[in-house]
Structure formats: structure tokens, C-alpha cells
Amino acid sequence: MQSILELTIVSTEITPFSVIGVGTNLQQLLAELLVFVLVNIEPCCKDKLVIQIRSIQVSITIALGLYTNGAKGPVW
């Protein structure tokens, strides 16, 4: 998880800024966080955390879709 966190931090500092790169790294970081929650958190708190993590993942996916909506390949 630390390596993904470092990669995410570095990806926010590079020029030119890559929205897709940062979004992808954040998704990986959230996936690792979800695994940690599922394995290490007590059941009484787990459900709320899982819902929040999945909600953030959906938000990032939607945001990336909006960002890339105009970036289509060539039309033949």
C-alpha cells in the first residue's frame, strides 16, 4: 500500500499533470484500502467504511469518464 501511495503522490507532482494517471493511482489506493478494511476492521464498522470507499471509487470513475468523454479515437 505504501508504494501505491508514493506513486499517487509522485503522479500529482509531475508536469504535465495526468488526470488519468492520478485517477488510476487513486483507484488502486482505494482498492488496497478496501482490502485492509475487509481483513482488519471489526464487522460493526466495516460496512460503513466499505460503502464509503465504494462511493469514492464510483465518483472517481464518473469523473474520469467525464474527463475523457471528448477524447475519442479516430472515426473512419
Three cell numbers at 31? Answer: 482498492
Confirm whether 75 is domain-assigned: no
Count CB neighbours of 23 within 10 A.
Answer: 19
Confirm whether 60 is domain-assigned: yes
pLDDT at 74 over 70: no
DSSP type of residue 69: T
Confirm whether 58 is domain-assigned: yes
Q: What is the pLDDT of residue 76?
A: 52
Q: What is the pLDDT of residue 3?
A: 77
**pLDDT tens digits, 16-62:** 878 888 888 899 999 999 999 999 999 989 999 999 999 999 999 88
Three cell numbers at 16? Answer: 504535465
74 or 6: whose pLDDT is higher? 6
User: How many domains are contained in the chain?
Assistant: 1
Element at 51 (helix H, strand E): helix 43-68
Q: What is the pLDDT of residue 4?
A: 72
Confirm whether 74 is domain-assigned: no
Expressed as residue numbers, the domain containing 62 is 2-66
For the chain, state the CA radius of gyration: 15
Confirm whether 42 is domain-assigned: yes
